Chains A and B, each alone.
Chain A
Amino acid sequence: MPSDHPRLIDQLKGGLDAPICLTWELTYGCNLACVHCLSSSGRRDPNELSTAEAKAVIDELRDLQVFYVNIGGGEPTIRSDFYELIDYSVAQGVGVKFSTNGSTINPARAARLAGSDYVDVQISIDGADEATNDAVRGVGSFAMARRAMDHLATAGFGPFKISVVVTRQNVAQLDAFADLADGYGAQLRLTRLRPSGRGADVWHELHPTNEQQVDLYRWLLDRPDVLTGDSFFHLSALGESLPGLNLCGAGRVVCLIDPVGDVYACPFVLHSEFKAGQVRDPGGFTRVWRQSPLFLSLREPTSAGACASCGSYDACQGGCMAAKFFTGLPLDGPDPECVKGYGEAALAGVAAGSAPSPGIGHSSPVTFRRR
């Protein structure tokens, strides 16, 4: 009977006994210093999980039957045990999808990766040409990423992913990104810029304008094959819903494990307010996932709050928690990029300097000169 089968969305909002997948930042170290880095990465943290501790986390994921893990950082491949860990994960039945700037993907490594059926690779760029990209990711980063893509293609890796954070500067290049991906037989992923990590410093100048958001929405509707990681569900209030779950899975079906073993609701809320626990504590990751007060509260039904009178709440779900939090907006109100303009209005009421700060994190003390 239909009444015995609640909607999938409602099941997922209530949380699952284990994540479907999760993001695991393996290290805060990175050889780049992208201006918008969500994890403020740069320097390794002396307290990062050891190889043994990382394997213990993988064992837990295996026991939880997590299907795959999204490995990032920082630049995860700078860990000397990176390949050992991904091989171990695959051997335990946990698939691996990792995100990289491409700096360590030489022909030998590309060939090695091409030999694994259970490892997926995503390469990050933020511009379709060197000038646009390097302004965000640093001199030489575009060429490095393209070399990695070339090596993967030559090695017969198959479809890898190209991931782009959409900004005011690159939103005019969407067709060029699609062409680049097509040229490699790769999949394109576009993700949303959040005011998280170093992104807090540049969000106001780099996030797309209202008109650009509408253009992006229309472009995405025309290209259902472009991945978004459900990053833009706040745009679904513009009309037809974008493909995807259209809900925030943080603490419900996904979460983040950081390099020192802290567990957060998602990669965009590296802040004590959204810290659920620590994998080194008794009960490990499993106990955090199933019993942390933060996650249990995220699995409670939420009300529309200030958005109750807006007819679009069902479509946009009030948008992104991280975007609201780091712009100083209340979580039970509009997203700062609310397509109806309610977020912009709300931002006007936020006192300067009052938004929660992500802190300097592991940002390298060296500042890059931006063009």
Chain B
Amino acid sequence: MTNPGGAVASEETVSEEEDLVEEDLLVEEISIDGMCGVY
């Protein structure tokens, strides 16, 4: 189905995915409990 806005929508979707991937990469929580000898 043709959608005049289709091209724009798909660009936004792609860039959102990239942003999500980048966001995952920019901030990541580390398990504070994630090492031996931790109390």
Chain A residues near B (Cβ < 8 Å): 2, 5, 8, 20-23, 70-72, 97-99, 120, 122, 161, 163, 189, 191, 227-231, 243-246, 248-250, 253-254, 256, 266-268
Name the B residues within 8 Å of A72 (CB-CB).
37, 39
A229 and B28 within 8 A (CB): no
Q: How far is the CA of A98 from the CA of B39 in the complex (A)?
A: 6
A244 and B39 within 8 A (CB): no
Known contacts A2-B21, A5-B25, A8-B28; A230/B37 CB under 8 A: no
Name the A residues within 8 Å of B37 (CB-CB).
22-23, 70, 72, 229, 254, 256, 266-268
B39 and A97 within 8 A (CB): yes
Name the B residues within 8 Å of A228 (CB-CB).
33
B37 to chain A, nearest CB (A): 3
A230 and B22 within 8 A (CB): no
B2 within 8 A of A: no
Interface string of B11-39 (1 = CB under 8 A from A): 00000000001100110101101111111
Chain B residues near A (Cβ < 8 Å): 21-22, 25-26, 28, 30-31, 33-39
B30 and A268 within 8 A (CB): no
A2 and B22 within 8 A (CB): yes
Known contacts A2-B21, A244-B31; A230/B36 CB under 8 A: yes
B39 and A71 within 8 A (CB): yes
B33 and A230 within 8 A (CB): yes
Which 9 A-B residue pairings sit nearest by Cβ, starting from the closest? A23-B37, A245-B34, A249-B35, A5-B25, A97-B39, A99-B39, A122-B39, A70-B39, A229-B38
Name the B residues within 8 Å of A189 (CB-CB).
33
A231 and B36 within 8 A (CB): yes
Name the A residues within 8 Å of B30 (CB-CB).
8, 20, 245
Name the B residues within 8 Å of A253 (CB-CB).
35
Query: A97-B39, A161-B39, A228-B33 given. 19 additional CB < 8 A pairs?
Result: A2-B22, A5-B26, A22-B37, A23-B37, A70-B37, A70-B39, A71-B39, A120-B39, A189-B33, A191-B36, A229-B35, A230-B34, A231-B36, A245-B30, A245-B34, A249-B35, A254-B38, A256-B37, A266-B37
Q: How far is the CA of A250 from the CA of B28 in the complex (A)?
A: 21
Q: How far is the CA of A244 from the CA of B30 in the complex (A)?
A: 8
Q: How far is the CA of A230 from the CA of B35 in the complex (A)?
A: 5
Q: How far is the CA of A97 from the CA of B31 in the complex (A)?
A: 16
B11 to chain A, nearest CB (A): 18
User: Which residue of the partner chain, among A97, A98, A161, A249, contacts B36 with CB atoms under 8 Å?
Assistant: A249
A227 and B33 within 8 A (CB): yes
